[in-house]
């Protein structure tokens, strides 16, 4: 019989998806150019030519049996080695091929990482604001997601609440830096303090607590900042990555888990993830995509447009009197709404063809998210709409 659990999920449509569908529908009425659609976190720049060239070269010059053959269950050795080399160079780590597991995007990475280090019934902590898909990812493992309330001062970590909620049955902590939806990058101090608390809790409880670090926005940093790689500060770290944003390949479903070589059981964690694959029907990302991405690892799309857009929006939001933390990366900004009810605020914005996502589904009330992965020209035009919206509705 139809599984009722999943059937019931059909009713609870994602707020983001509903807004995006509204934007598309509105676009058919007034022209999509006139809809300021800040709903979806979909890259707005093409993949680098190096990726396309890699695909063409592979399919023109390699033996089809080699391109399209089964990957080993632990995924393609050449891709794993390329990722290890790239991470070692960039973050001065010492990964070997054995620590890398190629996955179907960050969703696949998180599915494997979570299952590898928790068992059904365990608790997993994350920090608000958080990406709402963490709920199905965590509950899909049979785990319970525990959300630490936001530090709305600067959207770093609310350490007091974290320490209170880090009980003995928490087996993993899931972070996302740079953060969707806040755009904030955890500072070195934040990572260090979190690592110190986790280390102390491991000692006190006498069991491992794994840090699962979701890093798909790692390459989109502003103001010349460099990335504080969490795994450098805490040995029991599984770094989960996706090339969706850095190479603008969201549809290709390609990413990885990198197991810190000093993590507990680091030598068998990838083999365990290969076993997990058998039960969830994952069985490796596409072999040709693994091959192509291995050749474009250190490239990115032209990501500068996101910083340009951020600057325009941030300056305007400040000018309009919004309380907003300046994003350090990603293509999101997360201002406080001008009324307590963010849903009502975003509802009013729709009348100005501004599609904003209320913060409620990110685990915080009273804020909204703008995904500014759209053309800069449109961002500029949207500023006019934003001004009209605020002046008409809130400054009369």
Interface with a second copy in residues 44-83 (CB under 8 A): 44, 46-47, 52, 55-56, 59-60, 63-65, 67-71
Q: Identify which of residues 171 and 357 has a Cβ nearer to a second copy in the complex.
A: 171
- Write the DSSP assignment of 205-226 as a string of letters: HTS--EEEEE-TTTT-B-TT--
The verdict on 276 binding a second copy (CB under 8 A) reads yes
- Write the DSSP assignment of 339-359 as a string of letters: SS-HHHHHHHHHTTTEE-EEG
According to DSSP, the β-strands at 100-103 and 357-358 are unpaired
Identified binder of a second copy from the candidate list 39, 158, 237, 248, rule CB under 8 A:
248
Helices and strands counted in the chain (H then E): 14, 12
Shortest CB 39 distance to a second copy, Å: 13
Shortest CB 320 distance to a second copy, Å: 31
Shortest CB 281 distance to a second copy, Å: 3
Identified binder of a second copy from the candidate list 280, 323, 340, 384, rule CB under 8 A:
280
Check: CB of residue 353 under 8 Å from CB of residue 34: yes
Helical H segments across 31-76, by residue range:
49-61, 64-68
- Return the biggest CA–CA distance within the chain: 69
**Contact stretch for a second copy (CB under 8 A) within 243-251, 329-337, 370-378, 379-387:** 243-251
Shortest CB 200 distance to a second copy, Å: 17
Shortest CB 198 distance to a second copy, Å: 14
The verdict on 213 binding a second copy (CB under 8 A) reads no
**Contact stretch for a second copy (CB under 8 A) within 129-137, 156-164, 178-186, 366-374:** 129-137
User: Considering just the CA atoms, what is the radius of gyration of the chain in Å?
Assistant: 21
Task: List the interface residues with a second copy, window 332-371 (CB under 8 A).
Answer: none
Matching residue, tokens 């899931």 = 174
User: For residue 161, is it left (φ>0), alpha (ψ between -120 and 50) or beta?
Assistant: alpha
Give CA angle at 221 (217, 225), nearest 5°: 140
Shortest CB 365 distance to a second copy, Å: 24
Q: Identify which of residues 48 and 183 has a Cβ nearer to a second copy in the complex.
A: 48
The verdict on 136 binding a second copy (CB under 8 A) reads yes
**Contact stretch for a second copy (CB under 8 A) within 31-39, 211-219, 271-279, 331-339:** 271-279
Q: The tokens of 33 are what? A: 């150019």
CB atoms within 10 A of CB 29: 10
């Amino acid at each position: 019989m139809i599984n009722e659990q999943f059937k019931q999920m059909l009713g609870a449509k994602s707020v983001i998806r509903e807004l995006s569908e509204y934007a598309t529908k509105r676009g058919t009425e007034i022209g999509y150019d006139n809809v300021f659609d800040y709903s979806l976190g979909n890259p707005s720049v093409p993949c680098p030519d190096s990726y396309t060239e890699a695909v063409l070269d592979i399919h023109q010059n390699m033996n089809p049996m080699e391109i399209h053959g089964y990957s080993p269950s632990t995924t393609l050795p050449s891709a794993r080695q390329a990722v290890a080399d790239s991470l070692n160079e960039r973050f001065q780590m010492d990964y070997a091929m054995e620590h890398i597991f190629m996955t179907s995007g960050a969703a696949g990475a998180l599915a494997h990482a979570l299952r590898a280090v928790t068992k059904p019934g365990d608790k997993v902590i994350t920090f608000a604001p958080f990406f709402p898909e963490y709920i199905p990812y965590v509950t899909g493992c049979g785990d319970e997601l525990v959300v630490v309330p936001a530090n709305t001062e600067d959207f770093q970590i609310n350490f007091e609440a974290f320490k209170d909620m880090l009980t003995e049955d928490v087996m993993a902590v899931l972070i996302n830096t740079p953060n969707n939806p806040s755009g904030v990058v955890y500072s070195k101090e934040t990572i260090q303090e979190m690592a110190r608390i986790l280390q102390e809790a491991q000692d006190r409880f006498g069991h491992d607590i794994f840090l699962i670090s979701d890093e798909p926005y790692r390459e989109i940093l502003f103001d010349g900042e460099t990335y504080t790689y969490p795994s450098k500060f805490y040995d029991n770290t599984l770094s989960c990555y996706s090339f969706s944003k850095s190479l603008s390949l969201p549809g290709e479903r390609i990413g990885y888990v990198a197991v810190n070589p000093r993590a507990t059981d680091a030598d068998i964690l990838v083999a365990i993830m290969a076993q997990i694959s058998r039960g969830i029907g994952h069985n490796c990302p596409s072999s040709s995509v693994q091959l192509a991405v291995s050749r474009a690892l250190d490239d990115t799309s032209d990501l500068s447009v996101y910083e340009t857009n951020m600057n325009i929006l941030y300056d305007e939001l400040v000018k309009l009197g919004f309380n907003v933390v300046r994003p350090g990366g990603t293509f999101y900004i997360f201002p406080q709404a001008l009324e307590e009810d963010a849903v009502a605020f975003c509802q009013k914005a729709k009348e100005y063809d501004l599609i904003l996502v209320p913060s409620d589904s990110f685990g915080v009330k009273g804020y909204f998210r703008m995904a500014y992965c759209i053309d800069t020209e449109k961002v500029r035009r949207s500023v006019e709409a934003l001004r009209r919206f605020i002046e008409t509705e809130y400054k009369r």
